[in-house]
Each structure stands twice: as structure tokens, then as C-alpha cells.
Amino acid sequence: MSYRYVCRCCGMKIAEIDHAMVTEGRLGFDSLTPEERQSIISRERGGDTVVRVLCDYCKDAFDQHPELTLVGNPLQ
């Protein structure tokens, strides 16, 4: 089982970390609000945890075109 970081915009897999290697505190999850956790972190049926973030490519695109940010809003 692992934490799988995927881009919430383009879906690209960014990183995969084995559960045994880290704690949620180490990943900074414990500083998230419950709402943030719910929108960023999801648990798959197989036991993997999917963490939705932005990849470098999309982050750059959003920095240059802030109007695109809505596209990646998980609430939409």
C-alpha cells in the first residue's frame, strides 16, 4: 500500500511513497483542515491513499495564467 501523489489537474502521477516509509505527520497531512483533507486526500479500495496536488507543469501554467485555476478546483 502506498501514498500516491497525482496531479489534480492533468492526472499525472507525481510520486509514490510506501505507507511504511512515512507517517501522515511527516507528509504534513496533520496540518490540513478536515475540509482540505477531504478534497485533497482520498483512500482507494485497495488501501492506497491518493493525494491530489498540482504537478510542476500545471503549477507553472497556473502561475502564468491565474484565470485557469478554476479548472483545477476539486469542488467543481
Distances from the Cα of 73 to the Cαs of 4, 25, 29, in angstroms?
19, 25, 19
Pick between residue 49 and residue 54 the one whose CB is nearest to Zn ion.
54
Q: Residue 51, interface with Zn ion (CB under 5 A)?
A: no
Q: Quick one: cell of 34?
A: 478536515
Choose the binding region for Zn ion from 22-30, 44-52, 56-64, 65-73 (rule: CB under 5 A).
56-64
> 7, 49, 51, 52: which one contacts Zn ion (CB under 5 A)?
7
Task: Provide the binding-site residues for Zn ion, judged by CB under 5 A.
Answer: 7, 9-10, 55, 58
